[in-house]
Homo-oligomer: A and B are copies of this chain.
Amino acid sequence: MEAFRIQERLILASGSPRRRDFLAVLGLAFEVRVTDIDETPLSGEQPADCVARLARKKAQAVDQPSAWVLAADTVVALDGEILGKPGDEEDACAMLMRLSGRWHEVWTGFSLFRQATGELCTKTVCTRVRFLELTPELCRAYVRTGEPLDKAGAYGIQGKGCFLVPEISGSYTNVVGLPMAEVLEALLHHKVIALMGEL
């Protein structure tokens, strides 16, 4: 049996298979609509502001008035600077060597939005992440797996990159791309889902 049941039509505005997996593992029925928006941070924009703005923008870009839309954006930040996806292997190596042996932050913003009623809830969650001290050889071996190339900050905490992170402080699912404790709370609060067994 599942713990939750869906009460409203829910759309996930994200192409991330990891975000999909989180909702799917909870047994929630939802649709996926991927919108194409410009994800470039504004000049001087703080990580928290950036992910909140982009999550809201992604949610509002889905034109399904009566449905609830869940959207999210995740960035990796080092000393307040947002790290994007690396352009090539050399770029990925340079990014990983900057993270090596240090703490950085992963910010996710998520929005839950219903166009018909104008209801909008946006939250941001930050997790601190400590990176392994990397040798240039270990860095290159990881980069050659190809995993860093489509990842913000040049690593994935799931998959082959799991050994790169000995320690985090905060939400793990937030680093993966969707802070599930906070998302579930928002879905329950707005009655998009209900506990199984409750009226």
Contact = CB atoms under 8 A, between A and B. Distances in A.
Q: Is the interface of A mostly helix, strand, loop or mixed?
A: mixed
A163 B26 contact: yes
A168 interface: yes
Interface stretch (A48-56, A75-83, A173-181): A173-181
B25 A195 contact: no
A83 to B, nearest CB: 20
Copy tally for this chain in the complex stands at: 2
Contact of A163 (B2, B144, B146, B181): B181
A103 interface: no
Given A25-B160, A173-B162, A145 B181 contact: no
A179 B166 contact: yes
Nearest to A3: B141
